[in-house]
Structures are given as C-alpha cells and as structure tokens.
A = this chain, B = another copy of it.
Amino acid sequence: MRLGIDIGGTKTAAVAMDANGRVTEQIRMPTGWGGEAVVDTAVRAVTELAGLTGVSAHRFDSIGIGIPGQVERTTGRVSHAVNLGVDDLDLGGRLAGRLGIGVRVENDVKAAALGAYHLLALDGSMAFLNVGTGLAAGIVFDGRLWRGARGTAGEVGHMTVDPSGIVCACGQRGCLETVASGAAIARDWPTSDPLPVRALFDAADTGDGRAIALRDRMSDGLAMAIRNLVLTVDVDRVVIGGGISAMGSRLLDEVLRALRASALDSPFIASLELGSRVQLMPLGSPAAAVGAALVGVGG
C-alpha cells in the first residue's frame, strides 16, 4: 500500500493506492499555515489513512508528498513555499522523525503531472500545464517524470513573451506567467469572486471590451505555452490542470480557438494538430496526491 499526499495552499488531499495502482481511500482536510502546521497536516493525513486502510504508518510501502515550492529531492527539504507560509522546511527529515519511515517529497506540479498521466491512462509523452496562481508544466515521458538537469524542466511560465511587458516575480520582464496565470487575472481584473477568471469570462460574455482583451490575452498565452511545448519536446498530449481548470469547457474552448487562429496562416503549425492533443484535467481529481504516491515508482 502506497500513500500520496498533496499539500496545497488551503487544502490537503491524500490517497492510499494498492499494488495495482488503484486508489482505495481518499481524504481531504484543511492545510495549516506555516512549517509546523504543514508537518502536522502531513502526519494527520498519514494517521487517518492508516486508520482507514488498517495498515500502520510504518508498514506502508512508500509515502510521497507533493508540495508547492522548491524541493530538494534527496533530502526532502522545501523552500519558497509562499502559499503555505513556509520559507525553508526540512519536511523530509521532520516527517521521518515523526513517522519512523522515509518519505519522498516532490514539487506539486511535477507530482500532478505524474498523477494525471496515471489517472488518464495515457501512454507516450505528456506535458501537464498547471494554471494556478503561476504557470508551470510537468513533463512525463513514457510514464516517467522528466525533471531535467537541475529540476527546472517545465518552467514554461518564465519564457519571455513581451520584452517590454510587466516585471515578473522572477525579476524578468514580460514572462508568459505575467499574462497567462491566476495571478495575472487577479491583478488585472480585481473582483470579490473567489475565481477571478470566472468573473473575467462572465464580463467578457456580456461584451466588455477590456474583459475580452484580457481573456484573449490569457487564451493566446496558454496557446503559446502549448505550442512551445510541442515545438520543443513534441509531446503527444498537453493536459491543462490547476485551479483554472474549474472553468471547464469555457476555458478549453477559448484555448482551442487561440490554437486554431495560430494554425490559420501556417500549414506547419496546422500539421501539428495541436487542438487534438489538448485536454482538460477535471477539477477535484486527486492528480497530485496520486502522483505523490507514484513518485519513485513511475518517476
């Protein structure tokens, strides 16, 4: 029995997975704020799944954790997890001490990529394009996570799209993330809606010119991310996930429109059949928790 835990900014999801890769138990709980609370949340998830499965914590075959921020995989050290109030945390060491078993820690987007590949029963190659507060991808080749030379594979949100654009959190100017991400929408379309992109799409549907422009800018940006992923690594599929996937077909339709527009004047781009490679990850699917359970197995 494997355990996978996805520690998110507000909620933590965890799954127990049997030897056949089937999810047998699934739980959700709020995530605490700060390093201590994050460790407590992970321990609680393990304890609850131990109770539900009847397997004691130190008897699990593996425990994997997906968490936002930079992860040092060999030690399980986490840094810059700003959404969790964590600047620097020896999550791997702390959990090993509390649980009496080693845990594997992976960046949440990379874990979600592996989980999506598994849950969608894909083969070949896939990029998981996570549109949350930021924009990043996880790349899976033949069922294995491609982390790259230094773990920064998939950082497509920091490709420059406009050298005269807005300064990004990373310090560069005009990164793709500054036009196509949850943070970009929240910045440019202030609203009380907990999902600003929904408020934006609603306003665009009523014909608001500025909303239409911002919606199109985001759709064009996501289309560019998809195009660049295919032009670089030529993945079989691009799966769109993250908080923005709550928009469902309203979002997918816009992205497909932008992809069609880019193929209109280019037989080469048309030949890539980008639209047929794209799909949405259903919101609420436990991709990152499942991927965390698979870290070290499939990738």
Q: Which of B124, B229, B233, B268 contacts A171 (CB 8 A)?
A: B268
Q: Is A171 in contact with B231, judged by CB distance below 8 angstroms?
A: no
Q: Is B228 in contact with A150, judged by CB distance below 8 angstroms?
A: no
Question: In the complex, what residue of chain B is closest to A224 when comparing beta carbons?
Answer: B160
Residues of chain B within 8 A (CB-CB) of A170 are 266-269
Q: Is A148 in contact with chain B by the CB < 8 A criterion? A: yes
Residues of chain B within 8 A (CB-CB) of A8 are none
Q: Is A124 in contact with B149, judged by CB distance below 8 angstroms?
A: yes
Residues of chain B within 8 A (CB-CB) of A95 are none
- Contact of A235 with B148 at beta-carbon distance under 8 Å, contacts A266-B171, A269-B172 already known: yes
Q: Is A118 in contact with chain B by the CB < 8 A criterion? A: no
Q: Is B266 in contact with A230, judged by CB distance below 8 angstroms?
A: no
Q: Is B125 in contact with A235, judged by CB distance below 8 angstroms?
A: no
Q: Is B160 in contact with A233, judged by CB distance below 8 angstroms?
A: no
A29–B121 CA distance with the chains assembled, in angstroms: 51
Q: 1/0 contact trace for A167-192 toward B, CB 8 Å? A: 11011110000000000000000000
State which of A32-40, A151-159, A202-210, A246-254 sits at the interface with chain B: A151-159
Q: Is A234 in contact with chain B by the CB < 8 A criterion? A: yes
Chain B CB count within 10 A is highest, among A146, A155, A168, A235, for A155
Q: Which of B125, B137, B173, B262 contacts A149 (CB 8 A)?
A: B125
Q: 1/0 contact trace for A231-268 toward B, CB 8 Å? A: 11111100000000000000000000000001001111
